[in-house]
């Protein structure tokens, strides 16, 4: 039995009609700004791999299996500095830990009753920050059965793009100045920030961005090693608390105003 079978779905306001159509729509959504930005970032990573005297197969394996640019950069830089395998593994685990709660939140919104569990495990591997944000923006408007195919189409396309860009960046290493390679790597977080700014309909996101913007610089000056982590924890906690408080105030009370 195939999971992506063509069945007519009528239960969503913005559905594509079939799971196959949702899969193709997700792939088309990735071809554009998401693919261009990630390709540019991974061009820089490919050049970084070459400058660290890694082989191309090793760089491609890093992208294929890791698929998280900050963690991949940590591996290359720490390996070049002669760090131990245990220390590199611990650093990568801390760098990529953010992806675990993000994926857990997303998977609960994608699974249809008839979705095999192994499909979720396979999709979780290709969930990146870009696909996670797009999924949170688009998936809730789709029928439940179309959500996973849409996100799968989007994620697989950008995964393939990053593999290709890693190889191209490796081959173009001599033509790409080191400063340009570093600048390209930072395009992805900048693009992620712009996507968040463009979709601030949720109150909690506004709170989190404002709190992070205010807390980030002083915490970085206070402790450069832990400033980013502390900013995320404090800003996220504050945003969650403020959003819950605002929701409680906006919720209607059980008491009848006429009884007061």
As a whole number of angstroms, the distance between CA 136 and CA 98 comes to 16
| Pair 21, 4: CB distance under 8 Å | no
- Tell me whether residue 106 is exposed, middle or buried, using C-beta atoms within 10 angstroms of its C-beta: 0 to 12, 13 to 18, 19 or more: buried
CB proximity list for 42: less than 8 A, separation 6 or greater: 63, 69, 161, 162, 165, 166, 169
pLDDT at 257: 47
pLDDT at 211: 85
Structural domain boundaries of the chain?
Answer: 19-188, 200-249
Mean pLDDT by 10 residues, the chain (260 residues): 36 72 92 84 86 90 88 86 87 83 85 84 86 85 90 93 92 74 64 59 76 86 81 85 83 50
As a whole number of angstroms, the distance between CA 243 and CA 256 comes to 25
- Torsion region of 164: left, alpha or beta (phi above 0 gives left; psi -120 to 50 gives alpha): alpha
| Pair 107, 100: CB distance under 8 Å | no
CB proximity list for 146: less than 8 A, separation 6 or greater: 9, 12, 15, 16, 18, 19, 22
**What is the DSSP code string of 39-65?**
HHHHHHHHHHHHHTT--HHHHHHHHHH
pLDDT at 189: 63
pLDDT at 9: 38
Model pTM?
0.70
As a whole number of angstroms, the distance between CA 130 and CA 37 comes to 10
């Amino acid at each position: 039995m195939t999971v992506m079978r063509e069945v007519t779905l009528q239960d969503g306001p913005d559905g594509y009609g079939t799971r196959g159509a949702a899969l193709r729509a997700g792939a088309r959504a990735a071809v554009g700004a998401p693919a261009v930005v990630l390709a540019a970032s991974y061009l820089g990573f490919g050049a970084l791999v070459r400058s660290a005297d890694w082989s191309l197969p090793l760089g491609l394996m890093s992208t294929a299996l890791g698929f998280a640019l900050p963690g991949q950069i940590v591996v290359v830089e720490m390996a070049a500095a002669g760090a131990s395998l245990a220390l590199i593994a611990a650093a990568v685990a801390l760098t990529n830990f953010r992806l675990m709660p993000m994926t857990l939140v997303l998977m609960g919104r994608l699974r249809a009753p008839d979705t095999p569990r192994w499909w979720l495990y396979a999709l979780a591997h290709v969930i990146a920050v870009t696909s996670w944000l797009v999924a949170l923006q688009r998936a809730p408007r789709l029928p439940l059965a179309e959500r996973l195919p849409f996100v799968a189409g989007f994620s697989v396309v950008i995964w393939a793009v990053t593999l290709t860009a890693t190889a191209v960046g490796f081959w173009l290493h001599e033509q790409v100045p080191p400063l340009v390679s570093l600048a390209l790597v930072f395009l992805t977080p900048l693009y992620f920030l712009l996507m968040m700014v463009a979709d601030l309909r949720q109150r909690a996101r506004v709170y989190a961005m404002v709190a992070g913007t205010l807390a980030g610089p002083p915490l970085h000056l206070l402790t450069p090693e832990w400033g980013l982590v502390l900013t995320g924890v404090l800003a996220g906690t504050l945003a969650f608390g403020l959003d819950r408080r605002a929701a409680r105030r906006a919720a209607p009370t059980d008491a009848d105003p006429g009884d007061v």
